[in-house]
Structure 1
Amino acid sequence: MTTPTKAPRSAVPATALDTLTADPAKREVYRHDTYAREGLRSFATVTELHRSHDVTFVVLKPDAVAGRRCELILDILRDEGWLPAAATTLRFDPLLTRELWRYQFNAASSQRIDVVDHLLGSGPSLLVLLYDTRRPAWMPASVRLTAAKGSADPEAARHGDLRTRIGRVNGLFNFIHTADDPADVIRELQLFSYQTGWDWCRAALCAVGPPTTADGRSRVSDPAHALLAAVHEAIPAHDLDVTAALRRLSAGTGPWAELARHAGTPKHIGHWLAELRRGPINDEASRWDVLTVATQWIDCNEPGVAPILPTSSPAMWRAVADGRLPTELEDAACRV
């Protein structure tokens, strides 16, 4: 009797992701991820796959817009060698959030899950394609930016990391999202493309070399700064200060005012989350005050639970490049 041949479970070749991630586990997982598979095809249609080493992106989330951090973020990125090459706006919904962080959301706490959709769905985010002018030959743009930005957790902050420099407030008010490596650049641009398409970044991905102007810094044709007025109009400015937020809420009426007056301490976060689970925050005047309180008091991660795919380190890429671990000086040179 002939033994049936076992059919492969992936149409993506085993070596397709070898140059796009240094993490063997991610290579295998992404061979079975529909967004990574579609992204490989879409990106290759627009430009060559190796271009994913030269570019990355940053998402300036609604908290960055409300906190008026966008211009500061873009200026710091430019100063550190990441030049805006293209930009568009993006709106998160619950499905996009869960699919974008599919391999990390398993470690999110139930409290974070209660809050995150209210936060990311608060208005438009700014999606900016970046060209890296300073990356070492062995390190992709996305890896250098991930190493430089720092942890979302304030307790894990490093002196000089990007999130510290832009004034990270708490684990959810951390303002930016970036792709960890070229495989994530491709997968996540594919996810965004269902809403944005590819035309917004097609010319930039096809261009040879970084976007430049006569002085290297002019904002006249800067695609990211050109969109700031629109996102600022959509999301009002806010101080993101929990003490001030509680004071403003206490002076109002309705369920949020009652919570601020009678449950205005972190031990009562369960009451705030129960109200959030009832539905959208319909009081626009209170929205960012409520989000400021909730994000300050929640625990973001489940204790003892690791993400399915953790962030890969620059050391992994150095090892892939030449078969050895980087020296301390080499690793430090990759960080801002």
Structure 2
Amino acid sequence: MTTTTVEADPVTPSAPEPTTSAVSRRAFDSLSADPRKRAAYRVDPYAREGLDLFTSPSDRAWLHTTTFVVLKPDAIVGRRGGLVLDILEEEGWRPFAARPLTFDPLLTREIWRYQFNAASRQRIAVVDHLLGSGPSLLVLLRDTRRPEGLPASVRLTAAKGSADPQAAHARDLRTRFGRVNGLFNFVHTADEPADLVRELRLFCYRTGVDWLRAALNSALPSTGEECPARSLLAGLEAEAPAHDLDSAASLRRLAARSDAWGRLARDHTTSGAVRQWLSILAETALPPDSSRWDVLSVLTDWIDCNEPGVTPLLATVSATDWRNQA
């Protein structure tokens, strides 16, 4: 009887599974309490580049003790910047570095990439005019309290309160800042350390990376030493005439004009006419100087900010999320 020997096929090493990310699966574990955000930021180019700015253990610790506030153009002309800094210092967030920057439509959409899907068309039509109406001031803050070990950005997010004025509480920071409406809320902050990584990388395209690297090693101002944020804010306010941001007063002032905005203010005087105002905004340049803020005051008071029933791609992470993760 003849026995046939069958040789086994050589074992071929399996090829590594293809991946869409060059970032480690665990890279954002200590930076976000949201698993969806951890996954999304692994394929986000700004978050990936941002990680390269925070490579050492001390840099990662910095992301938990530090956050930022952006004083938007409405804070500058509305003269809320000093109040914002005063209240933040009172609550334990010490400013230690600052740099002016200017938003354009691309930066706006990239900063709010994961929230803009829920923005109404009305809000989109107005926000570029608002953020593009002047410089903003980026201010780095060191948290001197950090109760329960919460990251500085998470504690500030919780204290800031809802972006919806109807959901505001008296002790919310936005309420204490004197927020006027859903767009005239004066500040932007990062929700948690992962957003700090991503958004500071985006802002560095305007401020320069060297500024951030210097800030990583900056100490808090000593007693009696003024943070550069105060002098920079004073310079920005000197170049921007103050405005009351009052929609009713703005409507009266506009009605005295002889141009298209004046006719609009005389003929369409209620929020039900917001479509007519937005139609003119799409075709006509905003008036100069303080009249620009008159138009923005009326529009931000009348528009709907969000699409009904549409939720952001990534929701705001709460202090409770961080406590549960811990």
Measured against the shorter chain, the TM-score band is over 0.9
* Count of aligned pairs between the two proteins: 315
Counterpart residue number, 2:293: 288
Structure 2 vs 1, CA of residues 233 and 296 (structure 1 numbering), >3 Å: closer, same or farther?
A: same
2:31 pairs with 1:20? yes
Distance 1:91 1:106, change over 3 A: same
Query: TM-score of the superposition, structure 2-length normalised?
Result: 0.93
Q: Aligned residue for 1:84?
A: 95
Do residues 98 (structure 1) and 109 (structure 2) align? yes
Aligned partner of 1:148: which letter?
A: A
Cα separation, 1, equivalents of 2:239 and 2:21: 42
3-state SS of 1:130 partner: strand
The answer to whether the 8 Å contact 1:118/1:280 transfers is no
Q: Where does residue 141 of structure 1 map in the other structure? A: 152
Question: Which residue identity lines up with residue 83 of structure 1 in the other structure?
Answer: R
Residue 46 to residue 90, structure 1, CA distance change in 2 (3 Å): farther
Aligned to 1:22, what secondary structure does the other structure show?
A: coil
User: What do residues 14-40 of structure 1 show as CA deviations (whole Å, max 9, x unaligned)?
Assistant: 000000001111000000100000000
Q: Is the aligned partner of 1:299 residue 2:304? A: yes
Asked if structure 2 preserves the Cα contact closer than 8 Å seen for 1:86 and 1:201, the reply is no
5+ long unaligned stretches in structure 1: 322-336
SS in 2 for 1:48: helix
Please point out which of 240, 245, 270 is paired with 2:245.
Answer: 240
- 1:182 is matched with 193
Q: 2:166 aligns with which of 146, 155, 164?
A: 155
Deviation at 1:137, TM superposition (A): 4.6
> C-alpha separation between the residues in 1 aligned to 2:261 and 2:115?
31
Cα distance in 2, alignment partners of residues 235 and 47 from structure 1: 39
Inter-partner Cα distance in structure 2 for 1:187 and 1:156:
28
2:77 is aligned to: 66
Residue 268 of structure 1 pairs with residue 273 of structure 2: yes
Listed one character per residue, the Cα deviations across residues 253-275 of structure 1 (whole Å, up to 9, x for unaligned) are: 10110100001110100011111
Given the superposition, is the C-alpha separation of residues 285 and 313 from structure 1 closer, same or farther in structure 2, using an over 3 Å criterion?
Answer: closer
**Partner residue, 2:178:** 167
Is 1:213 matched with 2:218? Answer: no
Answer whether contact 1:61 1:176 (CA < 8 A) is retained. Answer: yes
How much does 1:4 deviate? 6.2
Give the secondary-structure state (helix, strand or coil) at the position aligned to 1:237: coil
Kindly indicate whether the alpha-carbon contact (under 8 Å) linking 1:85 and 1:131 is maintained by their aligned counterparts in 2: yes
Question: Shift of the alpha carbon at 1:234?
Answer: 3.0
- What residue in structure 1 maps to residue 256 of structure 2? 251
Instruction: Give 1:282 shift.
Output: 4.3
Quickly say closer, same or farther: Cα 1:46–1:72, change in 2 above 3 A.
farther
Larger Rg: 2
Spell out structure 1 runs of 4+ moving beyond 3 A: 1-6
Aligned partner of residue 269 in structure 1, secondary structure: helix
Deviations 1:115-158 (A, max 9, x none): 00000000000100000001125310000000001112110101
The one-letter code sitting in structure 2 at the alignment partner of 1:298 is I
Q: Are the equivalent residues in 2 in contact too, given 1:123–1:234 (CA < 8 A)?
A: no
Residue type of the alignment partner of 1:166: F
Contact 1:62 1:124 in 2 (8 A): yes
Gaps of 5+ in 2: 1-8
Paired with 1:78 and 1:195, the residues of 2 have a C-alpha distance of 26
Tell me whether 1-10 or 24-33 shows the greater mean CA deviation. Answer: 1-10
Note the alpha carbon deviations across 1:284-303, whole angstroms, 9 max, x for none.
34100000000000000000
Identity of aligned residues (%): 60
Native 8 Å contact 2:204 2:212 kept in 1 = no
Contact (CA 8 Å) 1:54, 1:141: kept in 2 or not?
yes
Q: Does the residue aligned with 2:98 lie in a helix, a strand or coil?
A: strand
- Which range moves more in the overlay, 198-207 or 308-317? 198-207
Determine if contact 1:87/1:200 at 8 Å carries over to the other structure: no
Partner of 1:192: 203
For residues 292 and 160 of structure 1, what CA distance do their matches in structure 2 show? Answer: 24
Following TM superposition, by how much is the alpha carbon of 1:237 offset from its aligned partner in structure 2, in angstroms? 0.6
Separation in structure 2 between the aligned mates of residue 46 and residue 283 of structure 1, nearest angstrom: 49
Q: SS of the counterpart of 2:53?
A: helix
CA distance in 1, matches of 2:35, 2:166: 29
CA contact 1:104–1:309 (8 Å) conserved in 2:
yes
